Amino acid sequence: MSYEVPVAPGDKPHEIQFGGGGEHGFPLWEVFVRAKRGLNHTHVGSLHAPDAETAIQNARDGYTRRAEGVSVWVVPSIEIVASDDAESMFEPFEHKPYRHPTFYEIPEEVGQL
Amino acid sequence: MDASTEFENGQAKFDAIIAADEKIEPRDWMPDGYRKTVIRQMAQHAHSEVIGMQPEANWILRAPTLLRKAILIAKVQDEAGHGLYLYSATETLGVSRDELVGLLHEGKQKYSSIFNYPALSWADMGAIGWLVDGAAIVNQIVLQGTSYGPYSRAMVKICKEESFHARQGYSIMMALAEGSDEQKAMCQDALNRWWWPALMMFGPHDSESAHTAESMAWKIKRKTNDELRQMFIDQTVPQAHYLGMTIPDPDLVFDEETGHWTIGEIDWDEFWATIKGDGRLNRERITHKVKAWDEGRWVRDAATAYAAKQKMKPDKSA
């Protein structure tokens, strides 16, 4: 399933010209910032840009004006594949408490385990 | 699953998430009314950030020192960034930014009427940061708890940056309040003109507010207009006194019993007139915005053409 944003029911798309480009102008990019070395890149938001290079520049200006990061990723939003978040997707794990360490009662005498 | 069962399941899950104080995320089922309300509120918020650049950008070239100029540029850049976060958050609900900007340009969506008041002197840069951004912060801090996830996350980020806006504004006011008689008069004059409009930013009284009850039930809004306004008044009145300035309200009194400041009556006729587009600057703000958009078209066209051309080139890494 693609990360396609559904059109809101009742919302009529207005005919707006944007740079003569596609129906939504510049494509949408998701922005990920690594706050400092040793941490994962984390999703911070999105932006529109005509190409990857400009998307990186805009991400720098838009999301790291105060030294929020040391590295930026941009990914075309359309390339992100999302899970179906129905309960059935994650529910089975609720019934598997034995996967957690706290499931097992260990006598105190055993010590650190 | 037939459509009505899907609707009932969706509604039940939505209600459970709201009741548990958890966040609604973009791909969740949500009532149409919720979607529309969140889109309207976020879009208007985004438009306000963008239009809000105009009164301040107008003073960048007239800033009294290089440092004040650099600060003002940084603040205006932040407002553009806040507009970006909010448009992005709104887009998660299935509208494109182009549509929203188009609705603003056509006058079909509104921005905060505070930006239809003119910024007449340098002291207004102080009053806007202190009072207008100050009022926005009170509203936005509470909105961090709003039920729509992307809106809440945008608010967290904006609040971190907004505090600088209010403090640099108050710093301008402090400098003027410690200055010559003329500078003190400028400071008082700006407070006189911005006090009431800042209070009106919180919207009509709860009893007059058409959407408050529904938005509270959906936890889009977490406090009512009057509650937020009172929070702002209580924090701001002592700040005015610290400056040695007078709040332009002869009826202002401190209620010892409640511990709150009580204000006189707000001029609601002025409020509604400004909302309905009779503000002095309504037309000018939108005209300027549309002009900037139109004049930037060649840049967008060039960027699009350049991107298309780059795509046609053989892959350098191959």
Residue A104 in domain: no
Distance from the Cα of B61 to chain A's closest Cα (Å) equals 22
Residue B174 pLDDT > 80: yes
Q: Answer whether 0.90 is exceeded by the pTM.
A: no
Mutation pick from B1, B13, B27, B29 vs chain A, by most beta carbons of A within 10 Å, is: B27
Q: Other CB atoms closer than 10 Å to residue B70's CB: what's the count?
A: 12
* Chain B positions in Cβ-Cβ contact with residue A46 (cut-off 8 Å): 88, 91
Q: Is A22 among the domain residues?
A: yes
Contacts of B85 in chain A (CB under 8 A): 45, 62
With a cut of 50, say whether residue A1 has pLDDT above it: no
Chain A environment of B78 (Cβ under 8 Å): 65
Interface contact A36, partner B, CB < 8 A: no
Q: Is B210 exposed, middle or buried (0-12, 13-18, 19+ CB in 10 A)?
A: exposed
A82 has a chain B CB within 8 A of its CB = yes
CB contact under 8 A, B307 and A19: no
| Arithmetic mean of pLDDT, B130-147 | 95
pLDDT band of B215, cuts 50, 70, 90: confident
Spell out a b/e string for B137-154, using b for 16 or more CB atoms within 10 Å of the CB, else e: bbbbbbbbebbbbbbbbb
Residue numbers in B near A21 (CB within 8 A)? 300, 304
Question: What is the structure's pLDDT at A51?
Answer: 95
**Could you tell me what percent of chain B has a pLDDT over 90?**
78
Residue A33 maps to a domain: yes
Give the whole-angstrom CA distance, residue B178 versus residue B184: 7
Q: For B230-265, what is each residue's pLDDT tens digit?
A: 999 999 999 999 999 999 999 999 999 999 999 999
Asked whether the beta carbons of residue B94 and residue A14 sit closer than 8 angstroms, the reply is: no
Does residue A53 lie in a domain region? yes
Domain assignment present for residue A99? The answer is no
ipTM of the complex: 0.85
Query: A26: domain range?
Result: 2-82
Structural domain count, chain A: 1
Please say if the pLDDT value at position B50 is more than 50: yes
Asked if residue A35 belongs to a domain, the reply is yes
**Is residue A94 situated within a structural domain?**
no
What is the Cα–Cα distance from A42 to A32, expressed in whole angstroms? 5
Average pLDDT over residues A70-78: 95
d(CA B269, CA B310): 56
Tell if the CB–CB gap between A50 and B27 is shorter than 8 Å: no
Indicate whether A43 belongs to any domain.
Answer: yes
Contacts for A50 with CB less than 8 Å, ≥ 6 apart: A21, A26, A27, B300, B303, B304, B306, B307
pLDDT confidence bin for B280, thresholds 50/70/90: low
Give the CATH number, domain containing residue A67: 3.10.20.520
pLDDT tens digits, B10-49: 899 999 999 999 999 998 999 999 999 999 999 999 999 9
User: In which band, very low, low, confident or very high, does the pLDDT at A20 lie, cut at 50, 70 and 90?
Assistant: very low
Cα angle vertex B25, ends A1, B88, to 5°? 90
